[in-house]
Copies of this chain bind each other. A is one copy, B any other.
Amino acid sequence: SFSQDIDHILETQSALAVDLGGTNLRVAIICMRGNIVKKYTQPNPKTYEARIQLILQMCADAIRDAVVLNCRILGVGISTGGRVNPQEGVVLHSTKLIQEWSSVDLRTPISDALHLPVWVDNDGNCAALAERKFGHGKGVENFVTIITGTGIGGGIIQHHELVHGSTFCAAELGHIMVSLDGPECMCGSRGCIEAYASGMALQREAKRLHDEDLLKVEGMDMKLVEPVTAVHLINAARLGNSKAEAVLNTASTALGVGITNILHMVNPSLVILSGVLASYYQAPVQHIISSRALSSTQGIKIVKSDLEEPALLGAASMVLDYTTRRIY
């Protein structure tokens, strides 16, 4: 039947999605419906050469697997940290979070090697595209997404479209500053919400407390060999460690004030939090907004993303939306 034919197309038409983060390089086969058929993860190499090498190799592996999995790959969508010119498929500039990653043409080498069309955008922007196509952003005219991973990224949708700005530097929401001084950020400035509230920032504070022997609490089991992370900080705070609580309070306040700044600037009707720390931050951010935002924005909804992998799904959506438009 016709509906079975459509089902078949939705099953087999797929995208290769690549996500280049501060820690990992991930590749996924994602079908038209947004299902992640297969996913590959490696540490993101520290040099340009090794990174491009690994992207090509992981993509080639995935393309081979896609044949067996009956997925027809329509193109490659790449989500990356840093400022991106999506028209050219070029990474313009990245912070120290991803080294050797400025003025990098990603489209040409990858398209040449894989014989597939390539789309590229910033990771926070990709997360917003994912919410628009698959998540809470469906049909919402104006919304903002904030993704907390190693760093903090964001995307702004206005009139159903991404805001890229005049030099592709809009929605750099991790680098909203909420302090005239504050902790140093990977971007070279200080007091950015990424420097207060990202996974990396919490890990820095967790390590500092651990080094001063202040992270331990009764009931918390921590082997000296395992790396200290944000999770230890959150667990310590839950078990009553006041130093850990203070660090997390500052982080939540910084993120909440940063998001309030977004409300006062673009006034979306919805803010979507995603990434590993989203469920932790949701309540305190809502609280900060209710005490610091102008009353006209108090009706804002702060929700947690339902999507497992916003950056990868958004990278895929660039391929799926474009090729869909072209084919039908």
A residues whose Cβ falls under 8 Å from a Cβ of B: 83, 92-93, 95, 141-142, 156, 158, 163-173, 175-180, 187-191, 250, 253-254, 257, 260-269, 291-297, 299
Contacts and interface: CB of A to CB of B under 8 A. Distances in A.
Contacts of A191: 257
9 contacts: A142-B166, A156-B266, A165-B268, A169-B264, A169-B267, A177-B178, A177-B260, A189-B293, A265-B266
The CB with the most chain B CB atoms within 10 A, among A142, A163, A166, A188, is that of: A166
Given A158-B163, A165-B142, A296 B92 contact: yes
Contact of A299 (B83, B167, B254, B266): B167
Contact of A180 (B158, B167, B257): B257
The 9 closest A-B pairs by CB, nearest first: A165-B267, A166-B269, A170-B267, A169-B296, A172-B264, A189-B292, A169-B267, A83-B296, A169-B297
The CB with the most chain B CB atoms within 10 A, among A95, A264, A295, is that of: A264
**How many copies of this chain does one complex carry?**
2
A262 to B, nearest CB: 7
A296 B168 contact: yes
A166 B299 CA distance: 10
A267 B167 contact: yes
B265 A172 contact: yes
B178 A180 contact: yes
A143 to B, nearest CB: 9
A168 B267 contact: yes
Contacts of A163: 158, 266-267
Given A164-B267, A261-B265, 9 more contacts: A83-B296, A167-B297, A169-B263, A170-B264, A170-B266, A172-B294, A180-B254, A188-B292, A261-B261
A262 B177 CA distance: 10
